Amino acid sequence: MPSINASSAIAVTAFALAACGEPHRAAAQQYLTLAEGVLIANGICASASDCQRKELLFWEGGEVNLGVVGWGGAYVNLYATQDPALVDAIVSKFKEAHTRQPDPQVTLTVFSSPHSQPEVQFRKVVLK
């Protein structure tokens, strides 16, 4: 029979997992679309499906909420770039959209490494 401490730990873990989800899915996909547009305009991808095939962009719209404490938002990861001008163009588009709709928090993480390689972070921008 599990002890009270083990039962408590199981209950807390179950509660935490139940509080997780993707409530910012639509926002994350919106920011992904903006990033794709910049990549396409700069000739990095021919289309959204080409960006997907090249594994350049990934998103997540997660949030963890434990009563009064919560964290999360819309996350976009860009891989295989070290071009500061390209990143600035994406950040500019994100800022425009975030000004119109400031919730949720948006995090863009740029990696110089390809998606399938160990991650080497190039830049991270958080819009609160």
Q: For residue 71, what pLDDT is reported? A: 73
The most confident of 10-19, 62-71, 78-87, by mean pLDDT: 78-87
Q: For residues 77 and 62, what is the distance between their CA atoms, to the nearest angstrom? A: 14
- How many beta carbons lie within 10 A of that of residue 50, not counting itself? 14
Return left, alpha or beta for 72; rule: phi > 0 is left, psi -120 to 50 is alpha, else beta.
left
The answer, yes or no, to whether the previous bond of 102 is cis (omega within 30 of 0) is: no
**For 49-77, what is the mean pLDDT?**
86
Label residue 32 by pLDDT band (50, 70, 90): very high
- In angstroms, the Cα distances linking 119 to 23, 55, 58, 94, 125 are 26, 13, 13, 23, 16
Q: Which carries the bigger pLDDT value, residue 23 or residue 109?
A: 109
CA dist list (Å): 76 to 11, 64, 73, 115 = 32, 17, 10, 13
In this prediction, residue 25 carries a pLDDT of 87
> Does the pLDDT of residue 26 top 50, yes or no?
yes
The overall average pLDDT reported for the chain is: 85
